[in-house]
Structure formats: structure tokens, C-alpha cells
Amino acid sequence: MRSALWFLALFLAACAPLAADEKLDAIVKREQADVDNESVTVYGGKIGADACVFFIEWSGVGSQIDGHYYELKRGREKLRRLRGANPKDGVLELTAFETRADGNLERIAEIRMTKKIVKGRVVWSGSVKRLDGSDGEIEMSRPL
């Protein structure tokens, strides 16, 4: 009887849903494996309360940054572009764009983040200033 209960507990633990962070990490790992450009790094994170996956193309400190992100709840069909700079080590300054119906990019937010290392992760966090006047927080991270 005791071994049956132990087996049931082990089975239920293995089948339990992953925590939100573990799910996002799994998605990020899969996305990074699918990237064919070595200068692109995939991060998981959030803007406000919305979980996001970020793709950042690095060219080095002092260089331009290009990338995009999507919110998990909206999926990949709603990509937003990121452009900006890594003006000094540990600082990112980005502008977020949405693609309009005519195909042109519309600026929607200014983003500033700083980097720190926390519990074996590279963590970028900071503020989002949307052009509609609302402000928010942003964070993206990946394992070292």
C-alpha cells in the first residue's frame, strides 16, 4: 500500500503543471534552439504583468541593437520590433514599434533597462514609457 501511494505521489508530481517561470524558460530554450543567427539571444520576461519572449541581436557595447518580442497571450503573429543601443556595458536603450496595417512601423514606447546577475541569471530590468502616457516595468532574463 505504501509503495502504491509513493508511486501515485511521484506520478502526480511528474504530471503537475510547470510553474509559469519554468514554462517560459522552456519556451525560451526552444526558441533559442530555433534561432539560426548566433548574435541573437532569446530572453523570457514580462512587460507589466504580460509574459513575453524577447529576441535581441547584439553587436557589442556601443553598438546598435535590433530585435523583436511577442506576448505569450497574443502569440507570434503580434510581433513588435525593438531598435536601440547598448551605449555602455549594462545599459539598454530601446524603442518599441508596432507594424501598422500599411506595413509601416509606428513607435509605441521607449524602454530603458539595466543589467544585473541574479542567482545564475542575466537579468535586464527597467521602465517602459508608452507614447499613450502610461508607464510600466519591463524585465527579461536568461540563464548565464
Each residue's pLDDT tens digit in the chain (144 positions)?
444 333 333 333 333 333 567 889 899 999 999 998 889 999 999 999 999 999 999 987 778 999 999 999 988 878 999 999 999 999 999 999 999 999 999 999 999 999 999 999 999 999 999 999 999 999 999 999
Domain boundaries, the chain: 19-143
Residue of 48, 5, 40 whose CA lies nearest to 142: 40
Q: How far apart are CA 13 and CA 16, in angstroms?
A: 5
The alpha-carbon radius of gyration of the chain (Å, integer) is: 18
Please report the pLDDT score of residue 59 as a whole number: 83
DSSP 59-105: --TTSEEEEEEEETTT-GGG-EEEEEEEEETTEEEEEEEEE-TTS-E
Please report the pLDDT score of residue 61 as a whole number: 74
Span between the terminal Cα atoms of the chain, in Å: 44
- Choose which CATH entry (1.10.260, 1.10.490, 1.20.1630, 2.40.128) describes domain 19-143: 2.40.128
pTM score > 0.95 for this model?
no
Number of H helices, E strands in the chain: 2, 8
Q: How far apart are CA 19 and CA 24, in angstroms?
A: 9
